[in-house]
Amino acid sequence: MELFGLADCNNFFVSCERVFRPNLNGKPVIVLSNNDGCVISRSNEAKALGIKMGVPLFQIRNEIEKYNIAIFSSNYVLYGDMSHRVMSLLSYYTPKLDQYSIDEAFIDFSDMGDSKYMQKYGQEIVRTVGKGTGIPISLGIAPTRTLAKVASKFAKKYKGYHGCCIIDTEEKRQKALNLFEVGDVFGIGRKMKEHLSKYGIRTAADFARLDGEWVRTAFSITGYRTWRELHGEACISLDELPAKKSICVSRSFADEGITDKQKLEEAVANFASDCARKLREQNTICRQLTIFAYTSRFRTDLPQDFININIRLEIGTNDTSEIIKNAIEGLRANYREGNYAYKKAGVILWDISSANAVQGNLFDTRNRSKLSALQQTIDKINRRDGIGTVRNAIQGSDRLNIKREHLSPQYTTDINDILVLKS
């Protein structure tokens, strides 16, 4: 019998911080985006106070003071290492583990036992990961990956499941779909949700009740596969799960901004590197990239400039060096000398597709197999020792001077930050 599990870390960034600050358990905690701009992770207590995902920090200053909300800047080195520990423990329970994101992984439980056994087995996994890492996880188990995602949401929401929800009967499937919003289903994006809402489709059950041929005509083969998965038919492989259609990394620079060309190039190189890493994490490539940088539109007393370059690649890639090279060449070709203070810059990767279907070029001079092996080795080192341990020279010796006023120590990767026990 085919059974798939989705292990999802609860409020992952917040949970990572709480592992080393147990005094914050049960208290409202938020983690901020790069440059301490917006909220990107919230504890359940913060959610209960009405703190919204993505809200700018300056808009909730009063709530932070009123409710004594703990604040942390993003500590991706810590989060990456804790993710590796969670995935290592999960892999102990099955050789068929596929990491989907920094805090999610699919597990193939096919032919490992009946539903009653898998319920206990799943709860054991949840307990072991929680005890071994301090990170609470929710595990959903179902006949398809799409239904497993649905089940994981219920495992997270209802304590009675003890961290593991299994959809193993038709009755459970129908009940779950009736309670699940259609916009939260894997493969149903914003545009598809808006289209469905015109027909009064609000829940996953409403969508599943539609005629299959109509779904295929209206939403192509992708929507039809999602429809079949909700009916309990496993037909979506890991490579076909939804991937981001574009990836953007950008920053607003503190104070007056960046006036030095070399510093701007370092910033763009780091943005391009982060974008390329995210491409590889979802096993995709890009064929086009956009680089932008602009001065403050509110400082009319200063010289104004706006850079926006689109670059099309001959061959799709997710190689960091290649993406950085194209980004920097584009920036240099459009850079104007002058007394410009760039307040924000960024890199956007788009025209994204699966890395398993790359269209080659007869005249390509790059040895892509060797470069791929090199990139895999670099990624392995950076996962083990922290992002940025091995980098391109143009990225500079230090990461950007990003505003991180609430940064926690790198407890697990820096010898100087290791906790010291006092007797």
pLDDT value for 73: 94
pLDDT value for 291: 92
> SS3 string of the chain?
CCCEEEEEECCHHHHHHHHHCHHHCCCCEEEECHHHCEEEEECHHHHHCCCCCCCEHHHHHHHHHHHCCEEECCCHHHHHHHHHHHHHHHHCCCCCEEEEECCEEEEECCCCCCHHHHHHHHHHHHHHHHHHHCCCEEEEEECCHHHHHHHHHHHHHCHHHCCEEECCCHHHHHHHHHCCEHHHCCCCCHHHHHHHHCCCCCEHHHHHCCCHHHHHHHHHHHHHHHHHHHCCCCCCCHHHCCCCCCEEEEEECCCCCECCHHHHHHHHHHHHHHHHHHHHHCCEEEEEEEEEEEECCCCCCCCCCEEEEEEEEEEEECCHHHHHHHHHHHHHHHCCCCCCCEEEEEEEEEEEEECCCCCCCCCCCCCHHHHHHHHHHHHHHHHHHCCCCCCCHHHCCCCCCCCCCCCCCCCCCCHHHCCCCCC
pLDDT value for 97: 82
pLDDT value for 201: 94
Superfamily of domain 247-391: DNA polymerase, Y-family, little finger domain (3.30.1490.100)
- Which portions of the chain are predicted below pLDDT 50? none
Domain ranges of the chain: 12-77, 95-239, 247-391
pLDDT in tens, 193-248: 998 999 999 999 999 999 999 999 988 888 899 999 999 999 877 656 666 667 88
Task: Name which CATH class applies to 12-77.
Answer: alpha beta
Fold of the domain spanning 95-239: DNA polymerase; domain 1 (1.10.150)
pLDDT value for 402: 63
